[in-house]
Copies of this chain bind each other. A is one copy, B any other.
Amino acid sequence: MVKEREDFLVIGKDLPKVEAEAKARGECKFAGDISLPDMLHGKILRSPHAHAIVKRIDTSKAKRLPGVKAVITHKDVPQQLVWRTYFFTPSASVRDNYILEKEVRYVGDRVAAVAATSPEIAEEALGLIEVEYELLPAVFDPIQAMQPDATLVHRMIKRGDDEIKMKNNILAPVNWVIGDVEEGFKQADLVVENEYKTISVHNAQMERTTVTCQPLPGGRLEVWVPTQNIHGTRIDLAKSLGIPNNKVKVHRLFCGGTFGVRSQASFIEAICGFLALQTRRPVRIELSREEMFLNGGRHPMVMRLKTGVRKDGTFTALDIHWIDDTGAYSATAESMLSLASGFLLSMYRCPNMRVDGYTVYTNTPPRTAMRGVGNPQQNFAIEQQMDIIAEKLDVDPLELRLKNHVREGDRFYGQGPDIVCVVQSSGTEQLIKEGAKLIGWEHRKAVTPYKNQPWIKRGIGMARGFHTSSAASVKPSDFCLDYSGAAVRVNENGTANLITPCADSGTGNLSAHAAMVAEVLGLRYEDVTVTEADTDFTHFDSGTHASRGVYAQGLAVFAASTNAKKIILDWAARILEVPADHLEARDRRIYAKTDPSIEIGIEEVLRIGHLQDWGTPIASASVRAPACPPHFTVIFVEVDVDTMTGEVKLVRAIGGADVGTVINPQAVRGQTIGGLHMGMGFALTEASIIDPVDGHVVNPNFRDYKLLTPLDMPKVETILADTYEPTGPFGAKGVGEGATNPVASAVANAIYNAIGARIYSLPMTPEKILEAIRNKQESAGNKRG
């Protein structure tokens, strides 16, 4: 859309986020900043057991504590499973938890809640609640959970309103076949089979979750919560509380990171809302960092890949067996494995492919969406498999990728095997070639960079990937909603307000939207205010997930701005007495395209229209994205591996991104660098560790959960591909998730390049590296011997 004019004044420029200065000044309101007169503080009593029945619960002592205004248990809350998967259609929503549970399913599960006049009193009251548990067997390992005799984590769940009796712990099998896999393997000259494993890492967003709910006139409930989806929160929370959805009002807040976990309800909203309605007072629940680790994180997966390939590097078959562990509760779990499957099938051209996958419940903390939703996992498998195959075929891994990568005109299976999506733009080739040059790919070989430390080996590796931009299924309403709306108000002084429901996780999608508004209306970036927003007055938006912010939400912003522009051109036409379609808006003025000397300032047009009672130029649009174009990424990394300690030092990284038209280069680079950081932590250090005996989270804090720090980061360069996505606003597509997906694979391939040994499971700790080196030496010794 709108390719004609390339001399943009705002699009493509390095611009700070609209809230950058305010954030630096500490003026942005986050959920934790909400404080209301008369507010109560809520706390949650959590299960010390991984699996148990609450036999008896006595809250009488807690209720008698002065300052306590409410104590609730499973007996008090609505006897219905809650709704938590914001953007799924009701019929696709898996529902498996109550506001509070009678049967607890992991260490930290929600048993009771208190609202009191201070957090201290609420905490004290928790200690006065007496609970008698009947312990049940628990299962922590997904493979064990699939055994026929495994304890049932759930006996009943619902999909929408349909009850599902669980006979085992398997939630969502994925069994897809494309072509004829057996036949494909027959045609292969080489068959490579390996198992790869990822562990749960946590979204680890800096901002802890605070939920505040306040009763409003008319039996309404006002909600402040960091979420990627204010409208989904509204609709789900209303259903969970059993009130009409127009009775819930959810504010958009600044978010201190989300990374997917805030694309579904956090278990806390409904507790807080229920307490507020019951006490008729505002209630605030602020989670501790420890509590944050009780929900969220990437699904751990066990992945077995079998690839058939001809000598010339043509793939003939791909057979995938995998297991996905969703923990004690699901929500996005059903989509997770099918998305991962679709993504894996969309990596390389192959006529025969099969997926045999299972999502299972375990008595571990519930996992959610996390940046890449299945893509980092599948990528860790396929992109190592590619290097292994290349080595066996003795071809350059880049050549193997360049030959087979899915590109313009190819099928994209992001929506599953039956739904036809076709790639319309790809910068993969450009990024591979430019990245290779920059990193010095030709000269890569395991070298010893430090003369005095010959045990330190240097390696270069790469991987490529992508992520979808939006979750737009071609057929609406089967699985998830995918549309967004926005409104643009042109103010009396010729500035504009962007009125949008869209959440900004901190990535800058709203800033990209502001740039679009400015470009369309011919205003300066600073003339656009992104207003505060809530669900009462904004259009529905499916949410800021699936890297749909710039692309799918951007389409709505583009359409709304275009409609607003029509109004102001009409006004200018009245004043200038030139037909509106002869006019153009640019640089704060409107001029006749044929004679730019016929012109008027936009501020003057608005002033006149306001004083002439022409109305308020507010225009809006709802748009369903017509596609879900993958935005491609190519990562190169250079590492130093200390073969004495097993430590990996990141030396250099190149992040290549194909995001279509670059709306704001600085922001895209920021996303790319952030994605590298997150992917490197996934690769090397991060792991949310579950105690194998009692199931508790061993490291629920930022001391023991190892995030990479700035000091751990390598020198980073970025490359932005020169592409144009024909379905996107100004030719743009997504940015955020693609940046992470291939990073761990690239690091793994670089380690292999350095030490000649391969690590098949994450994180790639010093212990595993030392073990891999040992195994390789033993195997070499055996060969020699």
Identical chains in the assembly: 2
Interface string of A494-534 (1 = CB under 8 A from B): 01110100000000000000000000000000010101110
A291 within 8 A of B: no
Which of B90, B487, B493 makes the CB contact (< 8 A) with A244?
Answer: B493
Write the A416-432 contact mask toward B (1 if CB under 8 angstroms, else 0).
00000000000000000
Partner of A218 from the list B18, B36, B481, B482 (CB cut-off 8 Å) is: B18
* Interfacial residues of chain A within 599-654, with CB under 8 A of chain B in the complex: 610-616, 618, 620-624
Q: A218-B529, A536-B529 are in contact. Are A622 and B616 (CB under 8 A)?
A: yes
Complex contacts, A495 vs chain B, CB 8 Å: 244, 246
Residues of B within 8 A of A493 (CB): 244-246
Q: Does A454 have its Cβ within 8 Å of any Cβ on chain B?
A: no
Say whether A529 contacts B610, CB under 8 Å.
no
A522 smallest CB distance to B (angstroms): 16
Q: Using CB atoms, name the residue of chain B closest to A247.
A: B529
Interface residues of A in 280-329 (CB under 8 A from B): 280
Closest beta carbon of chain B to A707's beta carbon, Å:
27
Q: Residue A33 at the B interface, CB < 8 A?
A: yes
Q: Which residues of B contact A487 (CB under 8 A)?
A: 537, 618
Contact across chains for A37 and B37 when beta carbons are under 8 A apart: no
Judged by a CB distance under 8 angstroms, whether A137 is at the interface is no
A489 and B536 in contact, given A27-B217, A216-B27, A218-B529 (Cβ under 8 angstroms): yes
Name which residue of chain B comes closest to A473, CB basis.
B613
Proximity bits, A215-229, B CB within 8 Å = 1, else 0: 111101000000000
B536 & A613 in contact (Cβ 8 Å cutoff): no
Is A536 in contact with B540, judged by CB distance below 8 angstroms? no
Asked if A360 is an interface residue, CB under 8 A from chain B, the answer is no
Give the residue of B22, B23, B25, B615 whose beta carbon is less than 8 angstroms from that of A539.
B615
CB distance from A242 to the nearest CB of B (A): 13
Report yes or no: B27 in contact with A485, Cβ–Cβ below 8 A: no
Tell me which residues across on chain B come within 8 A of A216, comparing CB atoms. 22, 27
Which single member of B25, B499, B536, B624 contacts A536 (CB below 8 Å)? B499
Number of interface residues of A (CB under 8 A): 64
| From B21, B90, B245, B481, contact of A491 by CB (8 A) | B245
Instruction: Tell me whether A413 is interfacial, beta carbon within 8 Å.
Output: no
Q: Which residues of B contact A220 (CB under 8 A)?
A: 529
A15 interface contact, C-beta 8 A: no
> In the complex the two chains form, what is the Cα distance from A497 to B477 in whole Å?
24
A613–B477 touching, CB < 8 Å: yes
Residues of B within 8 A of A36 (CB): 35
Q: Is A19 an interface residue (CB 8 A)?
A: yes
- Give the distance in Å from the alpha carbon of A612 to the alpha carbon of B245 in the complex: 18
B22/A540 in contact, CB under 8 A? no
- Which chain B positions have C-beta within 8 A of A611? 89-90, 476-477, 481
Kindly provide the distance from the CB of A314 to the nearest chain B CB, expressed in whole angstroms. 39
Q: Give chain B nearest CB distance to A87 CB in angstroms.
A: 11
**A380: Cβ under 8 A from any B Cβ:** no
List residues 638-686 of chain A with CB under 8 A from any CB of chain B.
Answer: none
In the complex, chain B residues whose CB is within 8 Å of the CB of A612: 476-477
> Contact check: which of B249, B531, B618 meets A485 at CB < 8 Å?
B618
Distance in Å: Cβ of A303 to nearest Cβ of chain B: 33
Q: Would B613 and A476 count as touching, CB distance under 8 A?
A: yes
Query: Do residues B218 and A22 form an inter-chain contact, with CB atoms below 8 A?
Result: yes
Closest to A478 in B: B611
| A726 → B minimal CB distance (Å) | 21
Please tell me if the beta carbons of A492 and B245 are within 8 angstroms of each other in the complex.
yes
Q: Which of A350-390 contact B (CB under 8 A)?
A: none
A215/B537 in contact, CB under 8 A: no
A25-40, CB < 8 A from B = 25, 27-28, 33, 35-37
Chain B min CB distance to A669 (Å): 23
Q: From residue A442, how far is it (CB to closest CB) to chain B in Å?
A: 49
A235 contacts the other chain (CB 8 A): yes
The minimal Cβ–Cβ distance linking A619 to chain B, given in whole angstroms, is 9
Question: In the complex, which residues of chain B have a beta carbon less than 8 angstroms from the beta carbon of A37?
Answer: 33, 35
Query: Are B483 and A613 in contact, CB atoms less than 8 angstroms apart?
Result: yes
- Known pairs A27-B216, A217-B27, A246-B493; A616 contacts B540 (CB<8 A): yes
Q: How far is the CA of A531 from the CA of B216 in the complex (A)?
A: 11
Contact A492 to B218, CB < 8 A, known contacts A246-B529, A611-B89, A613-B482: no
Interface residues of A in 6-51 (CB under 8 A from B): 18-19, 21-23, 25, 27-28, 33, 35-37
- How long is the Cα–Cα vector from A492 to B235 in the complex, in angstroms? 8
Q: Does the CB pair A537–B485 fall under 8 Å?
A: no
Residues of B within 8 A of A247 (CB): 529
A215 neighbours in B (Cβ, 8 Å): 27
Residues on B with C-beta less than 8 A from A21 are: 217-218
10 more A-B residue pairs beyond the given contacts A27-B217, A615-B621, with a C-beta to C-beta distance below 8 A:
A27-B215, A218-B529, A244-B495, A246-B527, A247-B529, A477-B611, A477-B613, A531-B537, A540-B610, A618-B620
Give 26 pairs: A residue, B residue, CB < 8 Å, sorted on A: A18-B218, A19-B217, A21-B217, A22-B216, A22-B218, A27-B217, A33-B37, A35-B36, A35-B37, A89-B611, A220-B529, A245-B492, A476-B612, A476-B613, A481-B611, A489-B537, A497-B536, A499-B536, A499-B537, A532-B536, A537-B618, A539-B615, A539-B616, A539-B618, A618-B620, A620-B620
Residues of A within 8 A of B (CB): 18-19, 21-23, 25, 27-28, 33, 35-37, 89-90, 215-218, 220, 235, 244-247, 249, 280, 476-477, 481-483, 485, 487, 489, 491-493, 495-497, 499, 527, 529, 531-533, 536-540, 610-616, 618, 620-624
Ranked nearest first, the 7 interchain pairs of A and B with the lowest CB-CB distance are A615-B622, A22-B217, A531-B536, A539-B616, A246-B495, A476-B613, A483-B613
